[in-house]
Chain A
């Protein structure tokens, strides 16, 4: 079982704050964080992704060391981890640096010192230390509130500049670093400070829409970015061009601007870049940027990464996006082209194609949260926490129609019968609701707590799983259910039931880590002892030729069983998704697609 492709998660963003992304110009990769993962993405091939998941708390920022060998990453608990950039990402050292979250981290140019800044409950808001021993190399007082960014002068004599929520820009000389002077030019949070590559100047940008340029050695104000054609919203991040003559800024006014910085320290606007395909909402606010080699990368609040070419600024950027939160469900659709639809609980539905990666987001009328999700060729059904079912019809990736139907209770699970047109069965705590088209045709109270449901594509038979672990088979007559049989085997509440594509078998899985394959005609167990997970089974999928069953669990493993062989000859993928596997599907008979809590989708190849 080998990993074939990874569709990475996007950086976690927060309204009102910028994010800091960084990269390595030699390997042309960028680094960003999402929840507990640090993602290393290759700019030339966004499908090549490496993810580091060893932080115990959500990671906030990560930086390559100047020689490209190590990566230092900080998290919300104030811990900095230094690990190898290649292969297995072996941990070198771990230090508890601050008492609160780390907002920015920088290596000195010789790779010996690291400065980290952030929140510290009043005491140490900034700390600089030696990378291998952790010993302090200076005292940093002078800030009273969260320090949002810090920078080290890349050339000798070394200087450190920090800026923060107290509107101050502080300047320290050293090593050992001591406070030199403070500057209060800004009238709002100072979001980012960066030195030019030659160390002669540094620029600070702030939520007061200004960018101020200072002399790198003395911290004298030299000039500022011109206010005509300036940003109309808070500037969240800034990045210098590799030659140190231009600067890229991104702002909440949804644009990125490139400025030419003259030697006297004044900035004049060169060009304004906006990302095409914007929906016009808050999600287009740009919160992060990076200028690396020829690439200009901007990140929007909605998580769209746009890569512009610095040499050809008129060319429209390469854009891609993904999920930011737990991808709770996944569906593989086969049609004229095979693609994968993924839904995350925050209401985002994305389309992916194998080999290409991200293909688009589905624009919905209201992005209500998604709890259950089912998809068939031209229709997607979702349900959330507002007691309604949304039926979305789409064609060629565009939503053509979206209807919302109230069902009176919170839906638990849903199943679509595509061949019996419009028939949809939805379960809620004590029963089932029948829907045809947009009308609720009947609500049946079953008398037991229902936890899972499956219906055959022609809508004649349905299986309902209960909290007690029993599977009840019903035949569907018009708008009512007739109980046919009760199957007892599971020792925990049923979490998922699926029919095989050839309809001769069905498989069920429960919260007690067990899965069973049943023969549909005889209602006997075909494959049992599928007990190899160590935590509840979240999802289950059949291969298109009905010979294999895959189960995904909270214990982060995906196990593939062959129905004709004993359960012990299984294939296990350990650690498929940090936090648990929540969605599973078969792209074809040799590829399994899985998605999980880490907001990534991975495609695994079963043939080695």
Chain B
């Protein structure tokens, strides 16, 4: 199925990995990349449940855009353990304009494929996807 705005297809693997993260909890995070030549969104990296936020932040390149899904665990005010699924649109200021355009126009269509995202975050530099931001958006 092609994306009407930018013509990017979504590889089946993307949806599979997301469902595994949601139901079976076998991953901490999934990082997606748009392969321009193949004209589709593919899975670039998958993180183990034991990996932390810092490992996740390290996988995102500083000069290129990515999409990511992160399973964030936290404790609420009433002292119960909860987790929320975050969708992060990583578009650093230093990336190429063409790259930012493609990712921005394909984002909506891609998100619709992933059913069950609770919070969406857009980050243009590392401070915007800091742990403090996660915590404040989780509540």
Which residues does A use to contact B, with CB under 8 Å?
A: 491, 529, 531-532, 566-568
Contacts and interface: CB of A to CB of B under 8 A. Distances in A.
Interface in B113-134: 125-127, 130-131
B54 to A, nearest CB: 8
A568 B131 contact: yes
Nearest to B57: A568
A529 B93 contact: no
A562 to B, nearest CB: 16
A553 to B, nearest CB: 13
B131 A531 contact: no
A93 to B, nearest CB: 32
A154 to B, nearest CB: 50
Do most interface residues of chain A lie in helix, strand or loop, or is the interface mixed? loop
Contacts, number: 16
Nearest to B130: A568
Contacts of B93: 491
Interface residues of B, number: 8
Contacts of A529: 125-127
Contacts of A567: 126-127
Contacts of B125: 529, 531
Interface string B85-101: 00000000110000000
16 contacts: A491-B93, A491-B94, A529-B125, A529-B126, A529-B127, A531-B125, A531-B126, A531-B127, A532-B127, A566-B54, A567-B126, A567-B127, A568-B126, A568-B127, A568-B130, A568-B131
Given A529-B125, A568-B131, 14 more contacts: A491-B93, A491-B94, A529-B126, A529-B127, A531-B125, A531-B126, A531-B127, A532-B127, A566-B54, A567-B126, A567-B127, A568-B126, A568-B127, A568-B130
Nearest to B124: A531
A177 B1 CA distance: 80
A568 B123 CA distance: 15
A89 to B, nearest CB: 26
A491 B126 CA distance: 15
**Which of A532, A567, A568 counts the most B-chain CB atoms under 10 A from its CB?**
A568
A566 B125 CA distance: 15
A532 B129 CA distance: 11
Nearest to B54: A566
Contacts of B127: 529, 531-532, 567-568
Interface in B70-117: 93-94
